[in-house]
Amino acid sequence: MWNNGRTSLFSMVVCMIFAFLVWGCDAKPKQPPSMPPAEVAYITVESQPLTLTTELPGRTVASLVAEIRPQVSGLLQKRLFVEGADVKTGQVLYLIDPAPFETALRNAKAALAKAEAGLPAIRARVQRFQGLVASRAVSQQDYDDAVSGLRQAEAEVEYWRAQVDTARINLGYTKVIAPISGRIGRSNVTEGALVAAYQPQTLAVIQQLSPIYVDVPQSTAELLQLRQRLEKGRMKLTEQTRNLVKLRLEDGSSYDETGVFRFQDVTVDQSTGSVILRMEFANKRHVLLPGMFVKAIIEEGVKEDAILVPQQAVTRTPKGEPMVMLVNEQGGVEPRIIAVERPVGDKWHVVSGLKPGDRIVLEGLQRIRPGMPIKPVPFNAQAHGNAQAMPHGNSQAGPPQQGQAGEQPSSRAH
C-alpha cells in the first residue's frame, strides 16, 4: 500500500508539471504599453526689419591740443592760472622776468634813433652832389660814394627797426599766453625755475574737451563686407541715421549725446590691417576725458527681411555648425544646418538656411531625435514664462530682452 501511495503521488506531480508546461506554451506574452509622441513647442519663422550695428572699441581724443612751451629763455616769475581750470584764448599763464628784454628793447631803440639821426645829412649831401656832377664840379666817383653811403645808412636804419621789433616781440613772449581755449592740466614747472626757449619739456598742456573726438579702428575686411552688402541691396542706409553714432562708456552705461561720423582715414595700419574712423561728440559737461576707453556703436544699415531665431533653439553639430530642428509636414522633426552672422540680444541673425513659415523647435530639444514622431504645439510665451512649463525642455536662455537694435519686444510671441 505504501508503494502504491508513492506511485500515485509521483504520478500527480508529473501531471501537474506537464499541465504547467502546456499552459506556459499556450500563454501569449504581454506587450508593454506604447509611449505617446513627445510634445514639443515650436515657433514660426518670420522676417522683420533689422537695424544692423557694429560695436567698435576706441579711445577719446581732444579736439584741440596745445603744448605750452616758452619762446624766450629766462627766470619764471609767476604762474597765473589754476591747475585743472578752464582757460581762454589770450589768457596769461606764466610770466618770465621781463627786465633783460626791456633793456634789449631800449638799446635797439637807441641804436635806431642814432641811425636815423645821421640819415638826413647823408641824403642832403647826395642831393647836392646830384646837381654838381652834371657841371663836373664834383667827380662821378664822389657822387657814387655819396649814393652808396646813403644806401648803407638807410639799410642800417631798417636793421635797427627790425631789432626794435624783435626786442618788442621777445618782451611780449615774457607773458606766456594760452593759444586756445580749453582745460589746462597740471603745471610741470614752478615759480623760480629757469626755462629755455622752445625747450622739450612742456610748461603745461591745454586740451579742448568739447567737442571731443573718438578714434576707433575697423578692419578693412569688415569695411569690404559692408560695402558689398550695400551694393547688393541686402542693406540700406537711412538718411536720418546715416552719420549718427552712439557711445557706450567703460561702466556699460550709454552716453547721452549722439555723435557724428567725421571721416575715415586713408591709410591702413599694416600691423593691424585696420583703418581709423573718427567720430565727434558734444561734451559740455566734460564727462568724456582724453584717453578714455569707450565703444562706438555704428549703424551699418537696415535689412528689411532679416530672420531672428532665439539662441536656445540653435545647437551645434560635432563639426561646430549651427543647427535647428524643423517640424516637417509629416509631423516629425528633421535637422537643418543654418548660417548665422551675429547675435542680436538673445537671438541669432540667420543669413541662410531658413525662410519665413518654417517651424523650428524651441522647447523639448533634449527629448527628440530626427525621424521620431512628435506632438508639435505652438510656443506660448506666457505659458512658458518659466522653466516649469516644460520640465524636460531646453531652458538655457533667459527671457528675451527688449531694446535691442532691430529686434521685436519678444521673439517668443510668434
CB 171 within 8 A of CB 87: no
Check whether 315 has a pLDDT greater than 60: yes
Among candidates 406, 379, 403, which has minimal Cα distance to 393? 379
The pLDDT score that the predictor gives to residue 205 is 96
Q: Measured between alpha carbons, how far is residue 217 from residues 172, 271, 297 in Å? A: 43, 12, 12
- Compute the distance between CA of residue 78 and CA of residue 87 in angstroms, rounded to an integer: 16
Check whether 113 has a pLDDT greater than 60: yes
Confidence of residue 406 (pLDDT cuts 50, 70, 90): very low
- Any residues with CB less than 8 A from the CB of 26 and at least 6 apart, and which? none
- Residues 192-215, mean pLDDT to the nearest whole number: 95
Structure-model confidence comparison of residues 344 and 22, the more confident one: 344
- Compute the distance between CA of residue 166 and CA of residue 159 in angstroms, rounded to an integer: 11
Q: What angle do CA 393, 398, 404 make, to 5 degrees?
A: 135
Q: How many CB atoms lie within 10 A of CB 391?
A: 9
**1-50 confidence digits (pLDDT tens):** 444 545 555 566 555 665 555 444 444 455 555 567 778 888 899 988 88
- Residues 99-104, mean pLDDT to the nearest whole number: 96
Residues in a beta bridge with 346? none
- Any residues with CB less than 8 A from the CB of 123 and at least 6 apart, and which? 150, 153
Structure-model confidence comparison of residues 126 and 199, the more confident one: 199
Q: What is the dihedral of CA 14, 16, 21, 22, to 10 degrees?
A: 110
Burial 193-219 (b: 16+ CB within 10 A, else e): eebeeeeeeebbbbbbbbbbbbebbbe
- Any residues with CB less than 8 A from the CB of 122 and at least 6 apart, and which? 146, 149, 150, 153
Most confident segment among 53-67, 118-132, 238-252: 53-67
Check whether 206 has a pLDDT greater than 70: yes
- Residues 294-318, mean pLDDT to the nearest whole number: 87
- Residues 129-148, mean pLDDT to the nearest whole number: 82
- Compute the distance between CA of residue 63 and CA of residue 260 in angstroms, rounded to an integer: 14
- Compute the distance between CA of residue 171 and CA of residue 105 in angstroms, rounded to an integer: 8
Residues in a beta bridge with 94? 79, 176
Q: Provide the H-helix boundaries in 27-98.
A: none
Q: What angle do CA 205, 209, 213 make, to 5 degrees?
A: 110
The pLDDT score that the predictor gives to residue 411 is 35
Q: Measured between alpha carbons, how far is residue 196 from residues 91, 93, 193, 202 in Å? A: 21, 16, 10, 11
**Average pLDDT taken over every residue of the chain:** 81
Confidence of residue 338 (pLDDT cuts 50, 70, 90): very high
Confidence of residue 173 (pLDDT cuts 50, 70, 90): very high
For residue 137, the SS3 value is coil
The pLDDT score that the predictor gives to residue 255 is 94
E-assigned strand segments in 240-292: 244-248, 259-264, 274-281
Q: Provide the H-helix boundaries in 83-198.
A: 99-132, 140-173
For residue 261, the SS3 value is strand
- Residues 281-307, mean pLDDT to the nearest whole number: 89
Check whether 228 has a pLDDT greater than 80: no
The pLDDT score that the predictor gives to residue 69 is 96
- Compute the distance between CA of residue 256 and CA of residue 247 in angstroms, rounded to an integer: 8
- Residues 152-165, mean pLDDT to the nearest whole number: 94
Q: What H or E segment, with its residue span, contains residue 5?
A: helix 2-26
CB 160 within 8 A of CB 115: yes
- Residues 53-73, mean pLDDT to the nearest whole number: 93
Percent with pLDDT over 90 in the chain = 39
Instruction: Output the CA torsion sign for 363, 367, 370, 371.
Output: negative
Q: Measured between alpha carbons, how far is residue 391 from residues 336, 380, 385, 394, 399 in Å? A: 25, 15, 12, 9, 16
- Compute the distance between CA of residue 109 and CA of residue 157 in angstroms, rounded to an integer: 11
Longest dimension (CA), the chain: 199
Structural domains of the chain, with CATH: 38-49+305-413 (2.40.420.20), 54-62+210-303 (2.40.30.170), 63-205 (2.40.50.100)
The pLDDT score that the predictor gives to residue 412 is 34
- Residues 146-164, mean pLDDT to the nearest whole number: 92
**346-393 confidence digits (pLDDT tens):** 899 998 889 898 888 888 887 788 777 788 888 875 455 544 434 333
The pLDDT score that the predictor gives to residue 398 is 35
Check whether 64 has a pLDDT greater than 70: yes
The pLDDT score that the predictor gives to residue 143 is 82
- Residues 313-339, mean pLDDT to the nearest whole number: 88
- Compute the distance between CA of residue 333 and CA of residue 362 in angstroms, rounded to an integer: 12
